[in-house]
Chains A and B, each alone.
Chain A
Amino acid sequence: DAKTTQPTSMDCAEGRAANLPCNHSTISGNEYVYWYRQIHSQGPQYIIHGLKNNETNEMASLIITEDRKSSTLILPHATLRDTAVYYCIVRPNSGNTPLVFGKGTRLSVIA
C-alpha cells in the first residue's frame, strides 16, 4: 500500500506556480520522497527526489518539512504541458525496490 496521501485533483492557471502537497506521516528515517508524473497514455516521468533537504532542478522544487511528514512539489511556472497525474512516493534507500504508486493528484493547468 502507498504510504502517501495526496489531494485527488488540483487546478492551476497557466504561468502560475503549482504547489502540490503530499502527506507521508509514517515515513521512515531511511526513506526518500520521490515525485513522478504521468501524462495521459505515457509511462511515468521522474521529476525530483529528496531525503530531508529542499531540492531544486530544472523541472521543479521539492520542499520537505523539518519533521519530514509532508512535502510540497512546486512547478514554478506551470504550462499546459504540465497537465498530468503527479505521484508522491516514499521509498527506502536500501534494496533495489520498486516504486509503489498511490492514486496521485491530477493537475489540470488551465489557460
Chain B
Amino acid sequence: GAVVSQHPSWVICKSGTSVKIECRSLDFQATTMFWYRQFPKQSLMLMATSNEGSKATYEQGVEKDKFLINHASLTLSTLTVTSAHPEDSSFYICSARPGTGVTGELFFGEGSRLTVL
C-alpha cells in the first residue's frame, strides 16, 4: 500500500517553544492531507484538513493560530504547534489518500508523540 511518513516520531520540548511535525506521502501525491490528535486512551480526533496550495480547514475548537498547517507541495504537509503548553502533549497523526481520488482507503503516518514540559 501507499506510504505516509511522519517526522519526528517523538519530540520533547519546553513550554513556550514551537514544534514542527512533517507529514510526507512517499510514493504518491496528495492534494489533501488530514491531521488528527489522540490523547491517551482516547480515539483519534480530526484537527484539520490540509489543502495543497490553499488554507487549511480547521475543526471546531481547534485554534488555527496555534496549530499552523502548511501544505506547500503535493507530498508534504507540516503542522507547527506554536507556543506549546503541557496540555498540547499528544499523539499527532497525519493521513492522506492518493491523488485526488475520493474512494479507497486513507493511509496514516506512524504518528508523532509530542511531550511538552
Contacts and interface: CB of A to CB of B under 8 A. Distances in A.
B103 A93 contact: yes
Interface residues of B, number: 28
Nearest to A92: B102
A96 B113 CA distance: 26
B101 interface: yes
A96 B101 CA distance: 7
A43 B36 CA distance: 10
Interface stretch (A18-26, A66-74, A75-83, A99-107): A99-107
Most A-side CB within 10 Å, residue of B4, B101, B108: B108
Contacts of B4: 43
A34 to B, nearest CB: 7
A43 B102 contact: no
Interface in A1-48: 34, 36, 38, 41-46
Contacts of B91: 41
A103 B41 CA distance: 9
